[in-house]
Chains A and B, each alone.
Chain A
Amino acid sequence: MPTIHVTSHLRHVAPAGPMPVDAATLGGALDAYFATAPRVRSYILDDQGRLRRHVAVFIDGELLLDKKDLGRRVAPNSEIYVMQALSGG
């Protein structure tokens, strides 16, 4: 199963450690993750269900460039990282 890793910045709402999810797409993987960890949803998706603009998703080391591409296929052994863009100040 694909595995989702969520940034430690969300440790106050996210489960500790990576989570395997049963899904074939990025959107499906996130939905499966949110089913277990519902509080994380609003931190990753906006109220229209889109990836937040400054949330970065890497799938197998590759940055997801099209933030709207929640239908992006993921492989059974994919590693999905949900990070935040860096900021200063």
Chain B
Amino acid sequence: MNVERSPHDVPSAAQLVESVREWLQNDVLTSTTGRVQFHSRVAINVLAMVERELAMGSRQSIEHASRLARLGVASDVELASAIRAGSLDDRIDEVVAAVRASVVDKLSVANPTYMRRDDQSS
């Protein structure tokens, strides 16, 4: 996030989310069982995902836009339509590489350890 331009005081959005995640981890998880504990664990994972998106999202948006621009499309919707129509078939390797880079970005936020080691923290 672009902290310099933000009017907000500390804690930052990321630090606020982190504080709630730590409370869930340290207090809620240990004092619950069964279904509520399971849903607490899900909540912790969700907040950790939000923290990663706050940290990486801006850079990912810029890179995603430039990947799309290189393929001559303005959005994932346009890229999806072009793939479906076959209009980018003569650049299929470029298309696959761009889609793969976007998917790696998505997983870097959603679930980084799901990926092969060489795709993690790229």
Are A and B subunits of one complex?
A: no
Interface, chain B (partner A; CB < 8 A) = none
